[in-house]
Copies of this chain bind each other. A is one copy, B any other.
Amino acid sequence: MSSLALSTDLYELTMMAGYYTAGLEASATFDLYVRELPPNRSCLVAAGLEQAIAYLEGLRFTDEDIAHLRTLPALQGVRREFFDQYLPRVGFSGDVWAVEEGVPVFPPAPLLRVTAPLPEAQLVETALLAIVAFQTSVASRAARMVGAAAGRQIVEFGARRAHGIDAGVLAARAAFIGGCDSTSNVEAGRRYGIPVSGTMAHSWITAFPSEFAAFRQFAEIYGDRSVILLDTYDTIAAARSVVAGGLAPSAVRLDSGDVIALSREVRAILDGGGLHRTQIFVSGDLDEWRIASIVEAGAPVDGFGVGAALSTSSDAPSLGAIYKLAEIERGGAPVPVMKRSPGKQTFPGRKQVWRVFEHGVAVEDIIDIEAAPGESMQAEPPSTVRPLLVPVMRGGRREHPPVPVADLRAQQLAEIARLPAAVRRLVDPARYRVRFGSALESAVKRFL
């Protein structure tokens, strides 16, 4: 079991000790955001917030953690009070504002904003980035596939491709929030209440003396809930044997070959045998592009099983999310800060993101200084404006109980539907408009 407090980069701890030593415990605000969309994405779908809150709530240094830190050569210059007095009492005591899970986000809008005493706000950087960026990348990819599937089901079954057991469970959660219908991951089902589904593997077939013996045995146990895998030896012959053998599976699965052609042949064979209600599922290295091409071909496919493309967000396995100091209290007053590194500048001040809707469709996001919304708030009907960052923790405690993932999924589907169709399309999507409000523009200019 990982220590939460030690699940961080060493430099967070050296800086934390440094801030403590320097007496820099003033309140600081950090933004967690992505600089730009990865290729092939027209939006991000926020996810992982619940795990971020749980991490912050649970954060503390155990005696064992502190004993370990005392042994680190890198911390030898740090004075003893840091270990003896500070670490035993420190946790996360700050405020968090965040975009709710399932809501589309457009860089560089913050996904999360942390305000806490500087050493605490610094400590949590590494884990917050890992938690939020991973689930956000998976949910974003899932939303694309769900769009491409145009109403057909998508089962996430990427556990075996995920970056370890835990990553698989988190990926299943994020994929479901992104709109997938179910997961193969039993633990994700248990933990989050996600519907689970499954079929059979090729090993089931090859474990029996004949393919049909394997089919029949499965059908004897699982009856009309069976999903029969057809491609172990010859897909068409297998489909014929299902019909000839009088089986009535709920679905068949095609896992290799030209699935567009095969699905048509298999559909005809099933229909010819009266199995009109037996569905056809397709799997095998699917992504949004392959799903779209199968759908566009009009292939009689009822659902898709997707693995690595979801559970590793394979086309964007990291989002490059960052966590940057935006404001710090000096002499009791908040001071905006900004770094100017070439190509890597940050944006100063405590921010809010305003989403502007016209006739119910989101038309632009305005990132601005929170305390000076100015124009951002002056929407006239039929425009409406909604702030995307909402308070989720105050004084280190969560504001609301965890939201069921089914609600987050429903929210995601509703919010995506409110984006312009041109932004949602798979091929050559339009760029959603994101701009800085005038207060933020002015704040940036003061640093240049």
- On A, residues with C-beta under 8 Å from B are 1-4, 6-15, 17-19, 21-22, 24, 28, 30, 51, 55, 68-69, 72-74, 76-78, 118, 122, 125-127, 129-131, 133-134, 157, 159-171, 184-187, 189-191, 196-209, 217-218, 221-223, 225, 231-234, 255-257, 307-308, 311-314, 317-318, 320-321, 323-325, 328, 330, 337-344, 346
Contacts and interface: CB of A to CB of B under 8 A. Distances in A.
Given A201-B11, A204-B18, A314-B317, A233 B164 contact: no
A69 B131 CA distance: 28
A203 to B, nearest CB: 4
A133 B441 CA distance: 47
A78 B221 contact: yes
A234 B122 CA distance: 23
A186 B130 contact: no
Question: Ordered nearest first, which 8 A-B pairs have the shortest CB separation?
Answer: A10-B198, A11-B198, A317-B317, A129-B160, A163-B167, A163-B163, A308-B318, A203-B325
Nearest to A76: B225
Nearest to A24: B207
A330 B209 contact: yes
A186 B342 contact: no
B159 A9 contact: yes
Contacts of A307: 318
Given A18-B204, A74-B198, A74-B225, 13 more contacts: A2-B187, A18-B200, A28-B207, A30-B203, A76-B225, A118-B207, A130-B159, A131-B165, A134-B162, A203-B324, A232-B341, A307-B318, A312-B318
A349 B243 CA distance: 32
Number of copies: 2
Contact of A339 (B19, B161, B202): B202
A205 B3 CA distance: 28
Nearest to A161: B318
Nearest to A313: B317
Contact of A159 (B126, B199, B221): B126
Given A166-B2, A314-B317, A341-B202, A9 B160 contact: yes
A130 B164 contact: yes
A8 B186 contact: yes
28 contacts: A1-B1, A2-B187, A7-B169, A8-B185, A9-B157, A9-B159, A10-B196, A12-B198, A14-B222, A15-B201, A15-B203, A18-B218, A122-B203, A125-B201, A130-B160, A130-B162, A130-B163, A130-B164, A161-B320, A162-B163, A164-B170, A203-B323, A206-B328, A231-B342, A233-B339, A233-B341, A256-B341, A308-B320
A226 to B, nearest CB: 9
A166 B167 contact: yes
A126 B343 CA distance: 41
A331 to B, nearest CB: 10
A133 B337 CA distance: 42
A122 B255 CA distance: 19
B78 A257 contact: no
A206 B338 contact: yes
A317 B325 contact: no
Contacts of A337: 206-207
A323 B314 CA distance: 21
A207 B328 contact: yes
B163 A74 contact: no
A325 B159 contact: no
Contact of A312 (B171, B204, B317, B321): B317
A6 to B, nearest CB: 4
A193 B107 CA distance: 38
A267 B198 CA distance: 59
Nearest to A340: B233
A28 B203 CA distance: 10
A427 to B, nearest CB: 23
